[in-house]
Amino acid sequence: MATNLTRRNFLKAASIAAASVPLSQVTAKAQSGVVKAPLVSPGSFKNTQTAVGGVCEMCFWRCQLVGKVRDGRLIKLEGNPKSIDNGEAICARGNAGVAMLYDPDRLKYPLKNVGERGAPKWQRISWEEALDTCATKLKTIIDRDGAKGLCFFGHGSHAKYLMDFLERTVSTPNISEASFFQCRGVRDTAYLATLDIAPDENVDMANAKVIFFTGTHIGENIHLSHAKNYLRGLEQGAKLIVVDPRYSASAAKSHIWVQIRPGTDTAFVLAIMNYLIQNKKYNADFVEEHGEGFAEMAKGIREWTLEKAAEECDVPASQIKEVADLMAANMPHVAIHPGRHTTWYGNDFQRCRALACLTGLLGAIGCKGGLVLPKGPKGLTRINWPYVPHEEDSVLRDVADEHHFSPPGTPTELLRDAAISGKPYPIKGAVICGQNIMQCMPNQEKTIKMLKQMEFVLCVDIMPTDSTMYADILLPDCSYLEKSDFIKTGQQWDLGKDPQQYIAPRMPLVAPGFERKDSIWITNELAKRMGYGDKIPAQNQEELADKALAGVNLSLAKIKAEGGIHVQPGVSPYDDIDDLTVHFYNEDMEDEGYPPIPTYVPIEQPPQGFVRLVYGRTPLHTFNRTANNPWLVNEAKTNPLWVNDKLAARLGLKEGDTIKLTNQDGVTSPTTTTVKVTPGIREDVVYLYHGYGTKNPEMTQAVNRGIDDNSLITKIAVDPESGAHGMRNNFVKIVKVS
């Protein structure tokens, strides 16, 4: 600073008088941020207390937590010792919740974009201004175009209440919950069409004799009680069969690793079923009692000999036989995992249906080691926004007469196309809550086009993401550690043990910092301003939880006194399948013009010079959601590209080389990553962890780190039955940078 004075001289200088008066005018009115308080001696704040009632949401398995809190500050997270689910264990991501809570990049105040969408310039505004603006903008669109002029993208418990308000009461039909729709939704509808049940991941691996995974990689995909369930099965001697083009963490523990050609899993499963049927090695009693259309299916899949499948899947026929024989020898105690994130190739409904049929063929349902029906606690009161019917002709899949076995919600591709084209109706308002659509919908250019044509985009989140860059108003939500918005229920993780059930409502472990507000408050405030104040189902998060818990004669206070989790006697999930029907042949599907028996639909193979790009998880991140977490970044800094050793030699690549990727449409990844050379992947495939390559510089840890696989998924494959995106149908060339 250009002055000849020192502070002391200045204070003594005569010139100070000139500044003194105006300074006092300003400061006399100022409110200090510091006030007199009782004198506290050192050491008085050292008492660490245990806050109970945490429910993790670093991923969506929702383990139960306690927090060590000192002077309002969260020091450490631990599993809740009362938990009969995750117990005292939490994973690396769960532990790193502390760093999420105090991430300086987190959203802190309502923000208004005074720049452009996609290249925002933010200005902090008051909640009043933010909510008034949002309500006016959304209302203007509804008044002009109807509720169908809005769409919603949401993920997680943060989004649920806001989604229900928009879908049920405002009655917009354009709801895309990618976390479900593009992930587990296809699996659930395929199983519903086959077994009349949505399977979730209710597979009793702990008590299985054989565990069968297609593309499932537990160990990389960590959900704690599920991982315990799986490991207990292995400890007790279950044989593990893993079908995967890559030597995953699960493949590394397998007895049989089927290194399949990607996209051919359905052919593999059909050949197993055909072999079991032809050789009378299936569970005939079960099929007799519960099967429907068995003969039609048996006839329809006859062409799938071991040899034919061997050629299609590029695996030895003897290996398919070995897998089938192992299952037959151990049925019904075969845990056929239904999978998670099941949208791969745009032929996924049929693959999931084939898995469900195989489960039925082995009678591996409702028994030890099989697929089970959940027996969680019953009786929680359903509290929700009142349902107001949608306008006629507004549900896009009905208008398009497509995707008749779609999961609840709107097929994302239909939604995006409608918004871009304005047909069958314009969609000009987007509300996005907790979902990073830029990294979960393929073809980012189209997503940007969709967002840019909107009149108004509202984002509610805890962090900036590549999607929040497109918001007009950006609202700061409380994280899962700062609010109560969800009640986790379930049973003990090892189903073979004494049946028990639990009810664990989320409770805040610390108060929300800055001006963050929970999404229930945000939704209610919006609703009031939009004219739906009389429809609000609960005035705040505590009331919402207490009303739900009243159905089982509990309350937040009671459960808090019980240590954050209510545990009660449970019911065994075994032997409850009297009403079960296995639809080997599904007439409803036939009526809608889809194959009524599980059918293999071949996919395009890589063109000359290209390899297929597939992606998955690292156990240290939940995709992009945790990409900015400094503790986790420290452990998993980037996403090296898995390249087969022979392919690497041919391309002149070695371990650690820096590369870019260019896809079949000429799109090049804007960022780089390194090469991991391994024999543990087929030569026609390369593999990345998903969630890297963040573009938003507001995520200071994550920005430009690794490659975003989604930026290379420009070719779109849509599952005809479900309308979900298959996201492993793009091909890349590896470009060495250094």
Write out the binding residues for other proteins, residues 457-516 only, by CB under 8 A: 464, 469, 511-515
Q: Which of 48, 49, 88, 102 binds other proteins (CB under 8 A)?
A: 102
Judged by CB under 6 A, the chain residues 73 through 92 that form the site for ligand SF4 are 86, 90-91
Is residue 56 involved in binding ligand SF4 (CB under 6 A)?
Answer: yes
Q: Buried b vs exposed e over 598-615: b needs ≥16 C-beta within 10 Å?
A: bbbbebeebeeebbbbbb
At 241, give phi and psi (nearest 5°): -115, 125
| Interatomic CA distance for residues 533 and 321, integer angstroms | 63
Number of residues counted as binding ligand SF4 (CB under 6 A): 14
Sheet of 210-214: strands edge to edge?
256-258, 239-243, 210-214, 334-336
* Site track 216-235 with other proteins (rule: CB under 8 A), x = hit: --------------------
Is residue 224 involved in binding ligand SF4 (CB under 6 A)?
Answer: yes
179 in helix, strand or coil?
Answer: helix
Structure tokens at 203: 């597979």
Q: Using an 8 Å Cβ cutoff, are 406 and 723 in contact?
A: yes
Tokens 């207490």 correspond to: 546
- CB neighbour class for 533 (10 Å; exposed up to 12, middle 13-18, buried from 19): exposed
Q: Which stretch binds ligand SF4 (CB under 6 A): 58-66, 450-458, 607-615, 674-682?
A: 58-66
- Residues in a beta bridge with 735: 660
Give how far Cα 472 sits from Cα of 140, 395, 455, Å.
15, 26, 9
The option from other proteins, ligand SF4, none interacting with 86 (CB < 5 to 8 A, set by class) reads ligand SF4
Q: Using an 8 Å Cβ cutoff, are 215 and 248 in contact?
A: no
Closest CB to ligand SF4 among residues 465, 674: 465
Is residue 66 involved in binding ligand SF4 (CB under 6 A)?
Answer: no
Judged by CB under 6 A, the chain residues 93 through 132 that form the site for ligand SF4 are 93-94
The option from other proteins, ligand SF4, none interacting with 90 (CB < 5 to 8 A, set by class) reads ligand SF4
Characterise 602 by phi-psi region: left (phi > 0), alpha (psi -120 to 50), beta (else): beta
Is residue 59 involved in binding ligand SF4 (CB under 6 A)?
Answer: yes
Minimum CB distance to ligand SF4, residue 618 (Å): 12
The option from other proteins, ligand SF4, none interacting with 389 (CB < 5 to 8 A, set by class) reads none
Q: What's the maximum distance between 2 C-alpha atoms anywhere in the chain?
A: 106
Minimum CB distance to other proteins, residue 155 (Å): 21
Is residue 218 involved in binding ligand SF4 (CB under 6 A)?
Answer: no
The option from ligand SF4, other proteins, none interacting with 94 (CB < 5 to 8 A, set by class) reads ligand SF4
Q: Which of 48, 49, 70, 654 binds other proteins (CB under 8 A)?
A: 70
Closest CB to other proteins among residues 254, 696: 696
Q: Which residues contact 329 (CB under 8 A, 6 or more apart)?
A: none
Q: Which stretch binds ligand SF4 (CB under 6 A): 13-21, 54-62, 198-206, 361-369?
A: 54-62
Q: Which of 123, 136, 421, 605 binds other proteins (CB under 8 A)?
A: 123
Tokens 């550690």 correspond to: 481
Residue 129 is which amino acid?
A: E
The option from ligand SF4, other proteins, none interacting with 511 (CB < 5 to 8 A, set by class) reads other proteins
- Residues in a beta bridge with 611: 732
Q: Which of 295, 557, 697, 737 binds other proteins (CB under 8 A)?
A: 697
CA geometry: angle 558, 560, 561, nearest 5 deg: 65
Structure tokens at 400: 């398009």
| Interatomic CA distance for residues 187 and 721, integer angstroms | 11
The option from ligand SF4, other proteins, none interacting with 36 (CB < 5 to 8 A, set by class) reads other proteins
Q: Which of 48, 49, 88, 114 binds other proteins (CB under 8 A)?
A: 114
| Interatomic CA distance for residues 197 and 580, integer angstroms | 9
Q: Using an 8 Å Cβ cutoff, are 366 and 333 in contact?
A: no
* Site track 599-638 with other proteins (rule: CB under 8 A), x = hit: -------------------------------xx-------
The option from other proteins, ligand SF4, none interacting with 608 (CB < 5 to 8 A, set by class) reads none
Closest CB to other proteins among residues 45, 387: 45
Q: Using an 8 Å Cβ cutoff, are 89 and 64 in contact?
A: no
| Interatomic CA distance for residues 478 and 394, integer angstroms | 33
Residue nearest to ligand SF4 (CB): 94
8-state DSSP, 210: E
Q: Which stretch binds other proteins (CB under 8 A): 31-39, 280-288, 300-308, 369-377?
A: 31-39
Residue 562 is which amino acid?
A: E
Minimum CB distance to other proteins, residue 457 (Å): 15
Minimum CB distance to ligand SF4, residue 87 (Å): 11
The option from other proteins, ligand SF4, none interacting with 63 (CB < 5 to 8 A, set by class) reads ligand SF4
> Do β-strands 456-461 and 473-476 pair in parallel, antiparallel, or remain unpaired?
parallel
Q: Which stretch binds ligand SF4 (CB under 6 A): 56-64, 390-398, 403-411, 680-688?
A: 56-64
Helices (H), 214-371: 224-235, 265-278, 284-290, 294-300, 306-313, 317-330, 348-361
Number of residues counted as binding other proteins (CB under 8 A): 75
Closest CB to ligand SF4 among residues 625, 728: 625
Instruction: Work out the end-to-end distance of the chain between its first and last CA atoms, rounded to an integer number of angstroms.
Output: 45
Q: Choose among 264, 420, 236, 261: nearest CA to 350.
A: 264
Closest CB to ligand SF4 among residues 57, 312: 57
Is residue 61 involved in binding ligand SF4 (CB under 6 A)?
Answer: yes
Q: Using CB under 6 A, list all residues that contact ligand SF4.
A: 56, 58-59, 61-63, 86, 90-91, 93-94, 222-224
